[in-house]
Structure 1
Amino acid sequence: MPALPGLPDVDVTLRRTARARRFSLRVGQADGRVTLTMPLRARESDALGFLRAQEDWLRRALSRVATGQIVTLGAVLPYQGQRLTLATGPGRSVRIDGDLLLVPGDAARVGARVRAWAMVQARDRLAEASDRYAAMLGRGYTSLALRDTRSRWGSCTIDGRLMYSWRLILAPAEVLDYVAAHEVAHLDQMNHSPAFWAVVDRLYPGWEAPRRWLKTHGSGLHAWQFTI
């Protein structure tokens, strides 16, 4: 793995692909991983020259990557538009009490317990939203799955399988609803044509604002680390 020297050095993954016609750089918004994509027959020395020429842009992009935030007692976790402070709680279940998220048990397992709880909440909310929009559309979906995807917030297959990132539960409620409406709209239009956006507008008027929120703040949802 080559590195761009500096303060600090930047490790770069080279990726050759037959589809590439020129060099391109990508910085992962969740983890800051740098990938330089290059044509199959390109010389590595030319790729490294391109990398050096793009150093200023690359370091600016890396400076904007969200830093990791560990889910532990005392942390303030975003949840559906709320800000919940994690605290020790009684009993056996994680629960919300005002502006607190009470987490019982061993402090070393707080992150894992909160992640499991958040995934249950995400499934319930996304199923409710998907059911609501599917009913409005007059179409059904075949299954709903949760993933910790970093490249997309949701997807819909041609046979009606919906997939969502469970981290949407950390976003404001209207953002989760928009993503659900977006994916359900694909049950009618498997594209991003004007007809597709017309369906989205019918299901969720005002979708532009939550879409902008995701573009601006979405990477911050991936910054939360639930395990150390």
Structure 2
Amino acid sequence: MSDPHLPGNPPIPLILRRSAQAKRISLRISQLDGRVTLTMPKRLAEREALDFARSKEAWIRKHLNARGEDVQVTEGAEMPLGGKMYPVLSGSGRRVQITPDGIFVPGPAERMGKRLSAHLKELARDRLAGASDDYAARLGRDYSRLSLRDTRSRWGSCTSDGGLMYSWRLIMAPPEVLDYVAAHEVAHLAEMNHSPAFWAEVTRIYGDYAAPRGWLRKHGSTLHRYKF
């Protein structure tokens, strides 16, 4: 049998997942990668799930269009850095150069994405380490280590032994958003919860966090559209 999908332009691949706990069909669209997942009761016929998807096709296409397509970061592509959009261009020399005119990446075109992502991770580590140091000093607590990952479900975390983890993609967000996430995770060094006391610490070391928190909720998933 062919892979399940909704026909049309373009066709929409569907992921069918059976669950013993499911009492009815549910539909989820990932804002990270645009995958459409149908969760269905274990004994339900597949055709019923596909009929359900067809009945929701207009809704599915509307949400996929709002998300936008993934962007392969190659020469000529545009990507955000510090909340501003830059063209990615071929460069010379040994290092990536960032100017108001664009991001210039030296080397072969086929390695442009990998080389640029490595440079962005260096920038992210420097910025996040600096922000974490500043907020830890304001808090009066030290962290034990800092690591970067390409996390899909969270922008940062703090372990009980003081380890901070961040998504390197924060370097693409506006600076105040990166700073807010750093302050948020550092505040967990004092409060390992999301109690009023925790949010009071975030406010004390960062200030009014409503705007950057709102930006992440509204736009954060778009940072995952860029493929290196």
TM over 0.5: yes
Once the two structures are superposed, what CA deviation does each residue of 1:139-196 show, in whole Å capped at 9, x if it has no partner? Answer: 2222221111222211222222221111110111111111111111222222222222
Q: CA RMSD in A?
A: 2.4
Match of 2:112 in 1: 110
Query: How far did 1:216 drift?
Result: 1.9
CA gap 1:94/1:3 in 2 versus in 1, 3 angstroms: same
Match of 1:188 in 2: 190
Query: How far did 1:24 drift?
Result: 3.0
Q: Is the 8 A contact 1:29 1:66 kept in 2?
A: no
CA gap 1:22/1:192 in 2 versus in 1, 3 angstroms: farther
Match of 1:94 in 2: 96
Match of 1:176 in 2: 178
Match of 1:133 in 2: 135
CA–CA distance in structure 2, aligned partners of residues 127 and 106 of structure 1: 31
Stretches of structure 2 that go unaligned for 5 or more consecutive residues are none
User: How many residues were matched structurally?
Assistant: 225
Query: How far did 1:92 drift?
Result: 0.7
| 2:13 alignment partner AA | D
Match of 1:149 in 2: 151
Q: Does 1:119 align with 2:129?
A: no
CA–CA distance in structure 2, aligned partners of residues 53 and 208 of structure 1: 38
What TM-score results when the alignment is normalised by the length of structure 2? 0.85
Report the identity percentage.
Answer: 58
Q: Is the 8 A contact 1:30 1:66 kept in 2?
A: no
Once the two structures are superposed, what CA deviation does each residue of 1:33-62 show, in whole Å capped at 9, x if it has no partner? Answer: 1122345x5634565555445443323222
Match of 1:43 in 2: 44
Once the two structures are superposed, what CA deviation does each residue of 1:80-102 show, in whole Å capped at 9, x if it has no partner? Answer: 13433333333211122343322
State which drifts further: 30-39 or 15-24: 15-24
Which of 44, 56, 69 is equivalent to 1:67? 69
CA gap 1:97/1:188 in 2 versus in 1, 3 angstroms: same
CA–CA distance in structure 2, aligned partners of residues 108 and 157 of structure 1: 38
Q: Is the 8 A contact 1:170 1:221 kept in 2?
A: yes
CA–CA distance in structure 1, aligned partners of residues 114 and 166 of structure 2: 20
Stretches of structure 1 that go unaligned for 5 or more consecutive residues are none
